[in-house]
Every structure is written in structure tokens, then in C-alpha cells.
Amino acid sequence: MSVLTPHRLAELLGLPQPTDEQAAVIGAPLGPLLVVAGAGSGKTETMASRVVYLVANRMVRPDQVLGLTFTRKAAGELSTRIRARLGQLARIPEIAGEPTGGATRDPAGGSAGVPADGSSGAPAGGIVGASPERAEPAAAQRDPDTLGGEPTVATYHSYAARVVTEHGLRAGYEPTTRLLSEAACWQLADAVVRAYDGDMSAVDLAPVTVTGEVLGLAAELSEHLCEPDRLYRFTERLIAGLQALPGAMSADTARMVARQQARLQLLPLVTKYVERKVAAEAMDYGDQLSRAATVAVQHPVVGATERDRYRVVLLDEYQDTSHAQVVLLRALFGRGHAVTAVGDPAQSIYAWRGASAGTLERFPTDFALADGRPARRLALTTSWRNPPSVLSVANEVSRPLRDAGSAAVVLSAAPHAPYGRAVRCALLTTAADEASWVAESIARHWSTNATMDDPPTTAVLVRSRRQIPVLEQALRACGLPVEVVGLGGLLDTPEVRDVVTTLQVLADPAAGAGLLRLLTGPRLRIGPRDIVALHRRSRELSRRDRPDLAELALPPEVTLVEALDDLGDPALYSPTGYRRLTAFAAELAVLRSRLGQSLPDLIADVEHTIGLDVEVAVRAGAAGGSAGVAGAAGSGAAVGLARAHLDAFADVAAQFAADSDTATLAGFLAFLAAAEEQERGLEPGHVEVVTGAVQVLTVHAAKGLEWDVVALAGAAENVFPARSQGDHWLNRPGVLPFALRGDRTGLPELELSAVGDHKAFNRARRDFLARWAEHDAAEERRLAYVAVTRPRRLLLCSGYWWDGDAQGRRGPSALLTEVRERCLAGAGYVDEWADEPEPDAPNPVKANPLRAHWPDDPLGERRRDLTAAAELVRTELAALRAATSPGSVTADADAPAGHAPADADTEAPAGDAVADADALVGGGADGAGAEERRWAYEVELLLAERDTEARGVGEVALPAALTVTDLVGLADDPGALARRIRRPLPRPPERAASRGTEFHRWLEQRLGSQALLDLDELPGAADRDTGVDADLAQLQRRFLASEWATRTPLAVEVPFVTVLAGVVVRGRMDAVFAEPGGGLRVVDWKTGRQPTGDAARSAAVQLAAYRLAAAELFGVPLADVGAAFHYVATGVTDSPADLLDADELAALVTRLPPAAGEPVTEQ
């Protein structure tokens, strides 16, 4: 068989011709290979093409390929692309029609496609897979099933889990150990910290911070395969050695020693955390990796098994692998195995979670050829994402890294890339000025480069979350919808902040700051005089209830929250203020009485009680009327984002509650507090690019993503790049000493060999800190490189001289200066460059602090018109009421129409929604009228909800995981599924469904399987119409009379998880049978009626998913798997023809069908 070159394969598949660099990677001989791929260089397509090349040339079968990525999304993209290419390959006569041959075992233990000694294989133009010393006749290499099967594409963590599951018993690890989520780990560690009563004298950290340090230290011990005893001995020796040095110990050294002592005191907490996991038969991600690495290293047979199973291994984003992952992969696939690692040292930005920039550089020696020679290295340097002007900035940013010896590549533009100035930069006077420039630049681009329905995807990237509020405010002021990405960002949104603050007030009587936020917010608008009166009441209660306390000796024991429950004399407050305080206290009392409900229910209760659900619905009705693309997008999309923010927060609470049977409100609030402190954002792959909103997120969270427009804000001195952080082991007790890390060769070393006294140690410590600052600077530069390589069309970069965080001036950072130089050289435009302030110039931000009106008037300039409109409505209502009930009061007596001054009593202007709500609570003068208004208001809401449902549910994002039932619903009625996702409700009990469950239980016992089921895996969960059929005994008799009663299944109640277009789909197959003529058949028992027409076609989606899962689980070609419904009541077995394949199932997810005349939504 002649070699099919990469160019010829592309021609046969109808794909664009690969570049010379891509062709070299695609057609590289089998063996260890490192591919340094720059940002946007098409590495996913190249990896997929390499698999197709190897399969087409009979070097390997598809099922002998293993691909590992870091995220399910990346795994889904790579898997989908490979499957699509292989499907095309099988339909090409030139390939499918040839006799197959290839990857057969040879006596030396290798394969015909992989030389046993790990050498590079056949030279170009030779017989593929034949080495000169051991060439075999072509007929001996034929394999009739070379194109059969499918490759395995998984995440690094899921693959490690599979290794532990299959081989863990060799090292004493139970395969049934469950994996804990991040929230579950937090709950366990938080419980350990709160219950610990040991010595913590050296730990001067808040409990929330201690929990984070315990989790961090436990994770690093696992990631670097270090036992706690080893850490304990190292730290004790260090402390003893420093205390024994002659000379006076400096204050800096004393603080460092205290941090080491704090680490020793944290170790018992780490041990207790580990014991809690063991007792719960659970493990975290660090445990999973360390166990997999231990099994692989201690038991060589595991590596032999995996190498025999997977002849070719692809490793994506290799620069982000941790030490434990490297140890695992090297033990399994070292010694010259065909491993292709793809990565970019310039994008190694996850050192804080165990990755090391040097990992990629060490690949050629870690995965050397069998004879010890370093692995081959190739590069991909053509960027298919960025315009040439953006690339000139990226290459300038990465130049110092290359000068320091990094293998980072110089990127060049794609042949079709549009030339022009695609970079704009500015240096503004203040951070607020910068935020305005960013917002106006984005709004201008939206207005000139977008249609109403298709604004450019846009992101604002920040180094620190402290930058977000001023940027968000400026973006909203320009009419742009904003999505603050990540849990930390989510907590900054006004609607979620109101919910969280209410929860804090409910959980902690000392949450005075939170209470003040609610009281002075736009809903209650309590004025300063009433706040002072409430404070005085708390002091009065303290003196009354705790008379033994001196007035000024201690803060009042009775807090503002407690004083709200006992306001005292109403005359102390304004009438409106007292009424609102009373109503709010009643709301809190009701919510406290329901604190026993689950977290998701409690949050929904809070949302409803404080009126957020109504407020968001009212905003939806008020949205519209804005001019321009930005205004139009800002009206509707902002409303949708507000609802999405609340839903996302509810999902966080639901996940937190689901991860533990003992989830508490206090623990959840501690978890949220820790999330707010996390600067680096979400894990990679957890962010979805959205259209129609400006996404604000940290640079760490942006890795792997791309947008049309990207603004990099805050490129000011010591903001970005940031000042060197003190998160090294000398300063933080939760960080493992570098000498105990597996990647220590790439980290600064504290050199103690020549230290003889404290003066010498001070010099050694300063040298360490200087090298750490250099290490941090390189990390920041890599982070900047990631930021500037995200845009497809336009890059904005800006900085400022002054902000409110520093007394002194900032000025342009080195990054912004480099961007400006490239703009002046022709890459873009310098829109504005503020002059350098005088050396003694005061900080204008601190000299002119922000001022605001209190209480804030949410109606602003609209108040006069709305007040007049409300008065007209009141007049009409009074006339109607007078006609039916003479003598009724026509208006609220305590709702003055005027606008009170900021320092007056709490205002209650006419038309105030809060005042009306107060009347409903019981303060209204006309109880009957209030009741009528309440009923009328609720009727209007119900009618609006009906109208909304008639128009459709709007856009609802698919969750990251679906059940097979959801997949059937997606095919049958996407609108109904969207409503169920948007507002899940329990299914009504049905007698027939219960009968189906009983039948499945009987069948389980008969077939010998007792399985635990999830809610969506319950028998009959995917049945759309169970109907009212024969009773249970009749169903049993009918089954015993069927052909299936006499057959023995291979497996029953088989759970599975598969990935379709990056979305996880899980389910459970009733039974899998071996067919007499070969192959498999999946049978799903149905106790309801057999559907017809469209319903039957939708139900067949369930069988298509089962068929695909069975092919993956049992390792057989999809064509050899059949699927059928057996309708027990009628004895009919229905085997639909033309079931959807993997690509067609993925299309259900990627292209949603139209519903009720609505446009198709693509995600």
C-alpha cells in the first residue's frame, strides 16, 4: 500500500491544504513527538488530521488512539472532529476499497505501525509501518477491521479515574470511591476547620482563609506525591536550623519562621481532612491523580496493558500538566511509545495550581526514544485567529520569554488574514476615565460593525477583580449589556448581591454591614435619620438587656439586626421609615422560620420574598426603546442576563447542596466568601463565549477562548503586570516548600549551603525573593501573551495614572508601553495618551471622592412624570371605588408626593412601588382595596406569564450535562425542555408510571441485577406516554411469553456517560444482548403504548443514544450494534431503521430545531 500524504488526504476529504508545518506534524513518523503550537495555530485540527493520517495509512486502528485534554469541552471538540473525519474516510473508495493492513502484533512486542524499539519508523516515501530491519510482506500486515472502532478522547482527570477504577486494587484503592466536587471538598475542609480545637497559636488567619490553605496544602501534597511526614520533617529541620544560627534574627526572618510554624499547625488539619475523605469513601482530584500515578509507577503491568490498548497517544495543552500527571503519563507511555504532546510554553499560566512552564521543555527527555535520544520537536507558527497587527503585539510581548530561553514561537499571520490597524491603545488620567474609554470604544465598534441581531462577541479582560465594578458601571452607562463571568463575578451583580446579603443577615445577627446595604438600597431606601434611630435603639437595648456592660467599654451586644426585631417607640422614626422597617423585619422573621429548607428552596424563597423575581419580570416589560445597536442589545439582553445571573446562582447553591447531605447556610456563605477572594477566575473550559453581551472576566479564565473584540484594561504599573505576589512557601503556610515539589528545577531555590549566620541567611532570603520576582514577572508576561492573543478583529489596551487603591501614581506598565510602540510603528492607533503628572501632584481620585444621593431615588429624573401618571391612576381608582363603595379612602395617607431632601426622614414619594407593597403587608388604609390590587396584580402576572409562554421561553442555555430523557425532549419539543430547564418542576405521580417502575424492579430481580438509579434513570423516565395498560401481573405474563424471556443478556441496567458536541449525556440501558449472528442489541423495556408518527421518531433518539453508548462501552463498531423497544403489553419489538449516528445526535445539541415558529438558535 502506498503512502497517503497529508496533502493527498486533505484533497480526498475536501479539506483545505495543510501548511508545510502542519503537514510535517500530521505525517510525522510514529514515536515521541513534541509540537510547540502558538496561540490560534490550529492545533485541534492538526491533531485530528494526524489521527486520520495514521488510520488511513493503516498504522493504527481508531480504537487504538487515546486523546487527552483538560476540559470536557475540548474533549468533545476533538472527538467530534476526529469522528467526522473518520466517517468521511470510510466513505472514500480509494481508502475503504483497498485491502486493509497495519497494526498487528509482532514478535518483538510492538506493532507493525510502531517499531518496538521506539525508533522513528519508515522514512518518507517508504512502506509505512515497516522498519528496514523487520519488513514484513504486505499481506501479513492486513487487518480487515482497520477502519473500525472509535478513538478514546477524554480529560486527563477522567482517564486517571479510569486507571484507578481498573487497576486501583493492585495498590489497595477501592474502585468504588466517589469523586468529590470542589464545593464538597470545601464543605469537608470547612467542617474540619470549624471543629478543630488543637493548637493554632501561630496561625493568624481567618477561618475562611484557613480552610483555603488546608485545601491548598492537601492538593499540593497529592499533586507532588509528597507524604505529610516528609513535609513535617523538612519544616522542623528548617526551623531548628534557623533558630540555631548565630547572630540576631531579623524581623523578616522571624515572620518567615512563624509561617513555617503555622504550616506545621495546619498539618493535623490536613490529616483530619484526609481522614474525613477516607471515612466517606471519597477522594478529590488531587487524590485521584496521585493514586493513578502510584498505581502506574508501582505496577509496570498497568503500563504494559495501556500501551497495548493505545498504540498512539495525543496530549493536549501539555504545558498545563502537573507533576503527578507527568509521572502517570511517563510511567504508562514512556520508553519510546508514540506520544504526541502539543502545547505552548508562552501560555503556561497555571503555576498556582501545579503546572510548570518547564514541563513542556522537559518533554523530549521525559519521553525520550527507547535508545535515550530526545524526542523530536516540531512547531506550528501560523495563527488562524489574529490579524497581523495583533500578532505584532503578541510577538513583542513574548520576545523577552524567547530571549530567556523559552521555546515559545514567533507567530505569523495566515495567508488570508486581513491587513490593517486592528489595535487601539490609550493612557487615561484615572481608572474611571479608562473605563469610559473602554466602554465608548466598544459601543462605537458595535454601532459601526454590527447588526441589531448580531453584535460582535466581546470581552473585557482584567488582572484583578477589583477592576470590575468601575468597568461594569461604565459599560452599562453606555447601554451595553454586561455579563460578569465566574462565581466571584456573579456575586458582584446587583441582583445576586441582594440575595447573598439577605442570606448573610438571616444567618448572622452581626451582619450589620449587610443589613445597612439592604436598608439603604433602592428597595427600602431608609434615610440617615432612621438609620441613626435604629442604631440608638440597638444601644438602648444593650444597656437594658446587658446592664453590666459599660456604655463604651465594648461594642453594643445587641446588633442592628436584633434591633430591627424590636424597634421601640414609632415616634423615633419617620412614619414611612417605621412602616418599611416593620415590614422588612416581618419578612426576615418569616424567612428565618423557613431556614430548615434546602439551600435551593431557601434562595428561591428569598428571591420571591424580596421581590427580585417580580423586579426582573418588570424590567423585561420596560426594556426597549434604546437607540442604536448597543442600546437595543442593552435593553433586552441586560434583562435576560439579570435572570440568568439569578438562575446561575441557584445552580451554584443546588450543586453545593447536592454535594453533601449536611450542607449548611453558614458553610455555603463561607464558600461564597472564598470565591470572592479568588482572583484567577474559573477553571479553564468553564466559560462559554456569548453573543449580545460584553463579558468581563479575568485573563486566567479567558485562556482557550476567543472573541471578536477584546479589551485589556488596567495595563498600569503594578496592576498588569501585577506586583510580585507573596504566594511562595516562605510567606504562605498553605504552599508546599519548593524543595519538595516534583517540578523544583523550574522554581527559585533558597540556597542554604553557604549560610553560617543570620546575616548570611538574610542575603540568601533576599536572593530568593529577587529570583521569585523574576519568576513572577515571567508568569505575568505569559499571562499578557494569553490576553493579547484572544481577539479575532480588534484589540483594545489601556491604562491610567491614578486610581483609588494607591496614594501614588501608576502610569503605563511595560506592557502598555510595548503596545503603544507597536501602534506607533503601524499596528494601530494611540487614541489618547495623558501627560505625566507633576511629581508632587495629588491623587485626583482621593481628592475628589465619589458622591451619591442618599437615599437613592431609583426613578431619578423620571420621577415627576411617573408621579403624575401614578396620580392619574389613583384618581381613576378612587372614582371606580367610590362608585361601588362610598366612603373609601382614595389614596395612601402616608405617601406624600414630594421628594424629601437627602438628610430628611425616609422618603415615600407617590407612585413608590415599595410604599404600595408596604400597604399590602398591612399598613394600607383600605384593606379591601389593597386585597383587590393584590389579586389584580397577580392576575396580570399570570396573564403575562401565559403570553410569554405562548411566544416561547426565550433563549435558555443548555446545561453542561443532559440525560437521555433531555435528549429525547430536545428532539421532540425544545421549548418544553427549555421551560423544564429554566424552571424544573416535579413530575406529577401517575399510576401507569408507578406500574412501570414495579415491572422493571421485577425484571431486575429476574435477570439478577440490583442497581442504584438516578432520578432521570428511573424506569419509564423517557416514556412520553405510559397510558393506562394492563396491570402488573398481566405485564409479567406478557413478558414471559415473549422471545426475550428465554434469552440471557450480556448486561442489564448498564449506566453510561458519553459526550456529544462537548455536552455530557448520561443514561442507563435496560439490557444488552449478544446477537446470534454477531454484534449486540440494546433493548429498552416499555410498559406504555407504542407511539406513532413524530412521537415515534423522537423516541428513537433514546435508542440512538443507547446504541452509541453500547458501541463505546463494549468496543464494537457502531454498525454492529442494534437497538429496539420491546412493548411488553403488546409483545411487539420495534427496531427502528436509520437511527441517528454520533454526528446526527451531536447536531441535536449544536443546532436546535425551530419551535412554534421561532428562529433556530445555534450555540
E strands, 25-159, are 33-37, 65-69, 152-155
Q: How far apart are the first and last CA of the chain?
A: 42
Distances (CA, A) of 787 to 101, 154, 720: 47, 27, 11
Helix segments in 659-757, DSSP class H:
665-677, 699-702
37 among annotated binding-site residues: yes
Contacts of 821 (CB under 8 A, 6+ apart): 396
- What interhelical angle do 207-223 and 285-298 show, nearest 10? 20
43 among annotated binding-site residues: yes
Q: Give the angle 642-648-653 at the CA atoms, nearest 5°.
A: 130
189 among annotated binding-site residues: no
**Cell 454590527, located at residue:** 450
- What type of residue sits at position 8? R
Cell of 826: 503601524
Helix segments in 508-552, DSSP class H:
512-519, 528-545
Gyration radius of the chain's alpha carbons: 33
For the stretch 1068-1073, contacts whose Cβ atoms lie closer than 8 Å and that sit 24 or more positions apart, written own/partner, are 1068/1011, 1068/1013, 1068/1014, 1068/1017, 1069/1106, 1069/1109, 1069/1110, 1070/1000, 1070/1019, 1071/1007, 1071/1044, 1072/1110, 1072/1114, 1073/1044, 1073/1047, 1073/1049
- DSSP secondary structure of 376-425: EEEEE-EESSS-HHHHHHHHHHHHHHHHTT--PPPPEE-TTPPPS--EEE
> Nearest Cα to 524, choosing from 587, 465, 577?
577
745 among annotated binding-site residues: no
Half-sphere exposure of 221 (CA within 13 A, CB side): 23
Do 1082 and 1069 form a contact (C-beta atoms < 8 A)?
yes
What span, in angstroms and rounded, lies between the C-alpha atoms of 461 and 349?
A: 15
SS3 639: helix
What span, in angstroms and rounded, lies between the C-alpha atoms of 1035 and 1027?
A: 14
- What interhelical angle do 251-279 and 207-223 show, nearest 10? 80
Do 87 and 1146 form a contact (C-beta atoms < 8 A)?
no
Burial class from Cβ neighbours inside 10 Å (0-12, 13-18, 19+) for residue 1108 reads buried
What span, in angstroms and rounded, lies between the C-alpha atoms of 122 and 54?
A: 13
Contacts of 684 (CB under 8 A, 6+ apart): 70, 71, 320, 350, 701, 703, 704
858 preceded by a cis bond (ω within 30 of 0):
no
What span, in angstroms and rounded, lies between the C-alpha atoms of 806 and 803?
A: 6
Do 561 and 513 form a contact (C-beta atoms < 8 A)?
no
SS3 692: coil
Distances (CA, A) of 847 to 290, 296, 437, 807, 843: 54, 63, 22, 10, 6
DSSP class of residue 554? Answer: S
- What interhelical angle do 228-244 and 251-279 show, nearest 10? 160
Question: How do 1051-1060 and 1063-1074 pair as beta strands?
Answer: antiparallel
464 among annotated binding-site residues: no
> Nearest Cα to 703, choosing from 788, 638, 628?
788
* β-strand partners of 484: 696
> Nearest Cα to 494, choosing from 682, 671, 642, 634?
642
E strands, 113-254, are 152-155, 178-179
39 among annotated binding-site residues: yes
443 among annotated binding-site residues: no
Binding-site residue positions for ATP: 37-44
Binding-site residue positions: 37-44
